[in-house]
Amino acid sequence: MTASYVPLSYYLLLSGFLFACGVTGFLIKRNIISIFMSIELMLNGVNLSFVAFAAHWHALAGQIFVFFVMVVAAAEAAVGLAIIIAVFRTRETLNVDQVNLLKL
Amino acid sequence: MGGAVNLLAQKHPINSALSLIAVMAALAGEYLLLGAEFVAAVQVIVYAGAIMVLFVFVIMLLNAGEEEHTSGSRVAILLGVPGMLTGSVLTAWVVLRHSGTESVPIGALPGSPRDIAQLLFHDFLLPFEVTSVLILIAIMGAVVLASKPEASSGEANR
Protein backbone atom coordinates (compact mmCIF):
# COMPACT_ATOMS: atom_id res chain seq x y z
CA MET A 1 0.00 0.00 0.00
CA THR A 2 2.79 2.38 0.90
CA ALA A 3 4.28 2.39 -2.52
CA SER A 4 4.28 6.09 -3.19
CA TYR A 5 6.80 8.40 -1.64
CA VAL A 6 6.81 12.16 -1.59
CA PRO A 7 10.01 14.09 -0.85
CA LEU A 8 10.02 15.88 2.46
CA SER A 9 11.16 19.09 0.82
CA TYR A 10 7.88 19.36 -1.08
CA TYR A 11 5.98 19.53 2.18
CA LEU A 12 8.44 22.05 3.51
CA LEU A 13 8.06 24.15 0.39
CA LEU A 14 4.26 24.14 0.64
CA SER A 15 4.52 24.99 4.31
CA GLY A 16 6.89 27.84 3.62
CA PHE A 17 4.64 29.07 0.85
CA LEU A 18 1.64 29.14 3.15
CA PHE A 19 3.67 30.96 5.79
CA ALA A 20 4.93 33.50 3.24
CA CYS A 21 1.38 34.12 2.04
CA GLY A 22 0.34 34.68 5.63
CA VAL A 23 3.13 37.17 6.22
CA THR A 24 2.33 38.99 2.99
CA GLY A 25 -1.34 39.20 3.86
CA PHE A 26 -0.43 40.42 7.31
CA LEU A 27 1.63 43.21 5.80
CA ILE A 28 -0.54 44.37 2.93
CA LYS A 29 -4.03 43.93 4.34
CA ARG A 30 -5.74 46.89 5.91
CA ASN A 31 -8.84 45.10 7.14
CA ILE A 32 -8.36 43.82 10.65
CA ILE A 33 -10.29 40.62 10.01
CA SER A 34 -8.16 39.84 6.98
CA ILE A 35 -5.06 40.39 9.07
CA PHE A 36 -6.42 37.93 11.58
CA MET A 37 -7.05 35.35 8.87
CA SER A 38 -3.47 35.81 7.68
CA ILE A 39 -2.29 34.88 11.15
CA GLU A 40 -4.36 31.70 10.97
CA LEU A 41 -2.76 30.96 7.61
CA MET A 42 0.70 31.23 9.14
CA LEU A 43 -0.27 28.84 11.94
CA ASN A 44 -1.54 26.36 9.36
CA GLY A 45 1.72 26.49 7.45
CA VAL A 46 3.66 25.71 10.59
CA ASN A 47 1.28 22.85 11.39
CA LEU A 48 1.92 21.31 8.00
CA SER A 49 5.66 21.28 8.57
CA PHE A 50 5.10 19.75 12.02
CA VAL A 51 3.08 16.89 10.57
CA ALA A 52 5.53 16.39 7.71
CA PHE A 53 8.45 16.11 10.11
CA ALA A 54 6.46 13.82 12.38
CA ALA A 55 5.81 11.54 9.44
CA HIS A 56 9.42 11.71 8.42
CA TRP A 57 10.88 10.82 11.79
CA HIS A 58 8.04 8.49 12.79
CA ALA A 59 7.56 10.55 15.92
CA LEU A 60 4.06 11.08 17.24
CA ALA A 61 5.05 14.03 19.39
CA GLY A 62 4.82 16.27 16.34
CA GLN A 63 1.12 15.56 16.06
CA ILE A 64 0.65 16.34 19.73
CA PHE A 65 2.31 19.67 19.09
CA VAL A 66 -0.06 20.31 16.21
CA PHE A 67 -2.91 19.63 18.60
CA PHE A 68 -1.58 22.19 21.07
CA VAL A 69 -1.05 24.74 18.31
CA MET A 70 -4.67 24.28 17.28
CA VAL A 71 -5.84 24.78 20.84
CA VAL A 72 -3.85 27.98 21.15
CA ALA A 73 -5.17 29.15 17.76
CA ALA A 74 -8.75 28.54 18.84
CA ALA A 75 -8.26 30.50 22.05
CA GLU A 76 -6.55 33.27 20.17
CA ALA A 77 -9.33 33.44 17.59
CA ALA A 78 -11.98 33.71 20.27
CA VAL A 79 -10.22 36.47 22.19
CA GLY A 80 -9.09 38.31 19.06
CA LEU A 81 -12.53 38.39 17.50
CA ALA A 82 -13.96 39.63 20.77
CA ILE A 83 -11.38 42.42 20.74
CA ILE A 84 -12.31 43.21 17.13
CA ILE A 85 -15.96 43.49 18.10
CA ALA A 86 -15.09 45.77 20.99
CA VAL A 87 -12.92 47.96 18.76
CA PHE A 88 -15.59 48.17 16.12
CA ARG A 89 -18.16 49.12 18.70
CA THR A 90 -16.17 52.09 19.88
CA ARG A 91 -14.67 53.22 16.58
CA GLU A 92 -17.09 52.13 13.84
CA THR A 93 -14.26 51.10 11.56
CA LEU A 94 -12.27 48.02 10.69
CA ASN A 95 -9.38 49.81 9.01
CA VAL A 96 -6.21 49.47 11.01
CA ASP A 97 -4.89 52.77 9.72
CA GLN A 98 -7.63 54.56 11.59
CA VAL A 99 -7.13 52.64 14.80
CA ASN A 100 -4.03 54.36 16.04
CA LEU A 101 -4.93 55.18 19.62
CA LEU A 102 -5.45 52.78 22.44
CA LYS A 103 -7.66 55.26 24.21
CA LEU A 104 -10.57 56.84 22.45
CA MET B 1 -2.88 22.08 -4.22
CA GLY B 2 -3.60 24.41 -1.38
CA GLY B 3 -1.37 26.99 -2.95
CA ALA B 4 -3.54 27.71 -5.96
CA VAL B 5 -6.51 28.34 -3.74
CA ASN B 6 -4.36 30.35 -1.43
CA LEU B 7 -3.58 33.04 -3.94
CA LEU B 8 -7.26 33.79 -4.01
CA ALA B 9 -7.00 34.85 -0.40
CA GLN B 10 -5.74 38.28 -1.33
CA LYS B 11 -9.13 39.92 -1.83
CA HIS B 12 -12.04 41.00 0.29
CA PRO B 13 -12.91 39.66 3.74
CA ILE B 14 -15.66 37.22 2.91
CA ASN B 15 -13.85 35.94 -0.17
CA SER B 16 -10.66 35.44 1.74
CA ALA B 17 -12.59 33.67 4.48
CA LEU B 18 -14.04 31.24 1.96
CA SER B 19 -10.67 30.63 0.34
CA LEU B 20 -9.18 30.10 3.80
CA ILE B 21 -11.77 27.38 4.35
CA ALA B 22 -10.66 25.81 1.06
CA VAL B 23 -7.02 25.95 2.14
CA MET B 24 -7.85 24.30 5.45
CA ALA B 25 -9.80 21.54 3.75
CA ALA B 26 -6.87 20.95 1.42
CA LEU B 27 -4.53 20.81 4.39
CA ALA B 28 -6.80 18.26 6.04
CA GLY B 29 -6.50 16.11 2.93
CA GLU B 30 -2.76 16.56 3.08
CA TYR B 31 -2.67 15.35 6.69
CA LEU B 32 -4.78 12.38 5.69
CA LEU B 33 -2.28 11.54 2.96
CA LEU B 34 0.49 11.79 5.53
CA GLY B 35 -1.27 9.23 7.67
CA ALA B 36 -2.25 11.59 10.45
CA GLU B 37 -5.94 10.80 10.68
CA PHE B 38 -6.41 12.35 14.09
CA VAL B 39 -4.87 15.65 13.09
CA ALA B 40 -6.93 15.69 9.90
CA ALA B 41 -10.14 15.18 11.84
CA VAL B 42 -9.22 17.85 14.37
CA GLN B 43 -8.27 20.18 11.55
CA VAL B 44 -11.68 19.82 9.94
CA ILE B 45 -13.57 20.11 13.20
CA VAL B 46 -11.67 22.91 14.87
CA TYR B 47 -10.34 25.00 12.02
CA ALA B 48 -12.74 24.54 9.15
CA GLY B 49 -15.62 24.22 11.56
CA ALA B 50 -15.36 26.30 14.65
CA ILE B 51 -12.84 28.99 13.83
CA MET B 52 -14.14 29.71 10.37
CA VAL B 53 -17.72 29.88 11.59
CA LEU B 54 -16.51 32.41 14.12
CA PHE B 55 -14.78 34.42 11.40
CA VAL B 56 -17.73 34.42 9.03
CA PHE B 57 -20.03 35.31 11.88
CA VAL B 58 -17.94 38.30 12.84
CA ILE B 59 -17.66 39.42 9.22
CA MET B 60 -21.44 39.30 8.89
CA LEU B 61 -21.93 40.96 12.25
CA LEU B 62 -19.61 43.85 11.58
CA ASN B 63 -20.82 44.31 8.00
CA ALA B 64 -17.31 44.35 6.61
CA GLY B 65 -17.12 45.77 3.14
CA GLU B 66 -14.30 46.04 0.69
CA GLU B 67 -11.17 47.54 2.10
CA GLU B 68 -10.07 50.88 0.87
CA HIS B 69 -6.47 51.54 0.00
CA THR B 70 -4.62 54.28 1.76
CA SER B 71 -1.16 55.60 1.12
CA GLY B 72 0.25 53.42 3.86
CA SER B 73 -1.19 50.27 2.34
CA ARG B 74 0.25 51.16 -1.07
CA VAL B 75 3.68 51.50 0.47
CA ALA B 76 3.17 48.19 2.24
CA ILE B 77 2.18 46.48 -1.01
CA LEU B 78 5.07 47.99 -2.94
CA LEU B 79 7.60 46.95 -0.35
CA GLY B 80 6.00 43.82 1.03
CA VAL B 81 5.22 41.77 -2.04
CA PRO B 82 8.68 41.91 -3.66
CA GLY B 83 10.31 41.37 -0.28
CA MET B 84 8.15 38.34 0.40
CA LEU B 85 8.82 36.95 -3.08
CA THR B 86 12.57 37.23 -2.72
CA GLY B 87 12.42 35.80 0.78
CA SER B 88 10.35 32.80 -0.24
CA VAL B 89 12.49 32.14 -3.30
CA LEU B 90 15.61 32.23 -1.15
CA THR B 91 14.04 29.88 1.38
CA ALA B 92 12.91 27.50 -1.34
CA TRP B 93 16.39 27.52 -2.81
CA VAL B 94 17.97 26.72 0.55
CA VAL B 95 15.47 23.95 1.26
CA LEU B 96 15.90 22.36 -2.15
CA ARG B 97 19.65 22.67 -1.94
CA HIS B 98 20.18 21.23 1.50
CA SER B 99 17.52 18.58 1.61
CA GLY B 100 18.53 15.27 0.20
CA THR B 101 16.29 12.82 -1.48
CA GLU B 102 14.76 11.53 1.71
CA SER B 103 11.07 11.10 1.26
CA VAL B 104 7.99 10.62 3.34
CA PRO B 105 5.98 7.48 2.81
CA ILE B 106 2.35 8.26 2.21
CA GLY B 107 0.07 6.82 4.82
CA ALA B 108 2.75 5.02 6.77
CA LEU B 109 2.72 6.99 10.00
CA PRO B 110 1.48 4.99 12.97
CA GLY B 111 -0.77 7.87 13.95
CA SER B 112 -3.83 6.00 15.08
CA PRO B 113 -5.99 7.78 17.66
CA ARG B 114 -5.11 5.07 20.16
CA ASP B 115 -1.40 5.87 20.11
CA ILE B 116 -2.11 9.57 20.16
CA ALA B 117 -4.37 9.21 23.17
CA GLN B 118 -1.73 7.16 24.94
CA LEU B 119 0.83 9.89 24.31
CA LEU B 120 -1.52 12.77 25.02
CA PHE B 121 -2.97 11.53 28.30
CA HIS B 122 0.19 9.93 29.62
CA ASP B 123 3.29 11.82 28.59
CA PHE B 124 1.72 15.17 27.83
CA LEU B 125 -0.84 15.20 30.61
CA LEU B 126 0.32 18.42 32.27
CA PRO B 127 0.34 20.50 29.05
CA PHE B 128 -3.07 19.10 28.23
CA GLU B 129 -4.50 20.29 31.53
CA VAL B 130 -2.80 23.65 31.11
CA THR B 131 -4.47 24.06 27.71
CA SER B 132 -7.84 23.33 29.26
CA VAL B 133 -7.26 26.16 31.73
CA LEU B 134 -6.12 28.36 28.84
CA ILE B 135 -9.31 27.64 26.92
CA LEU B 136 -11.40 28.47 29.98
CA ILE B 137 -9.61 31.78 30.45
CA ALA B 138 -10.02 32.54 26.74
CA ILE B 139 -13.75 31.91 26.92
CA MET B 140 -14.12 34.18 29.92
CA GLY B 141 -12.00 36.86 28.30
CA ALA B 142 -14.00 36.71 25.09
CA VAL B 143 -17.26 37.05 26.97
CA VAL B 144 -15.96 39.98 28.98
CA LEU B 145 -14.52 41.74 25.95
CA ALA B 146 -17.50 41.27 23.69
CA SER B 147 -20.13 42.18 26.23
CA LYS B 148 -21.60 45.63 26.03
CA PRO B 149 -19.92 48.12 28.34
CA GLU B 150 -23.12 49.24 29.99
CA ALA B 151 -21.73 49.44 33.47
CA SER B 152 -19.09 52.03 32.64
CA SER B 153 -20.92 54.26 30.19
CA GLY B 154 -24.59 54.90 30.49
CA GLU B 155 -25.07 55.90 26.86
CA ALA B 156 -26.95 53.54 24.60
CA ASN B 157 -24.47 51.37 22.80
CA ARG B 158 -25.15 49.59 19.60
Query: pLDDT tens across A7-58, in order?
Result: 777 788 888 888 888 887 787 777 788 888 888 888 988 998 888 888 877 7
Out of A25, A67, A89, closest to residue B42 by CB: A67
pLDDT score for B59: 82
Q: Which segments of B6-116 are extended strands (E)?
A: 103-105
In contact, A78 and B50? CB cutoff 8 Å: no
Over chain A, what is the mean pLDDT? 80
Q: State the DSSP code for A5.
A: E
Q: Average pLDDT, stretch A74-103?
A: 80
Which residues, given as ranges, of chain B have pLDDT below 70?
1-12, 64-73, 76, 99-111, 149-158
CATH class of A9-91: mainly alpha
CB distance B27–A47 less than 8 Å? yes
A83 vs B contacts (CB less than 8 Å): 145
Give how far B124 is from chain A: nearest CA, Å.
8
> 3-class SS at B106?
coil
Domain locations along chain A: 9-91
- Nearest Cα to Cα of residue B63 among A52, A94, A63: A94
Q: Find the residue in B nearest to A50 (Cα).
A: B31
Out of A20, A40, A63, closest to residue B36 by CB: A63
Q: State the DSSP code for B101.
A: S
Give how far B80 is from chain A: nearest CA, Å.
6
pLDDT score for B93: 79
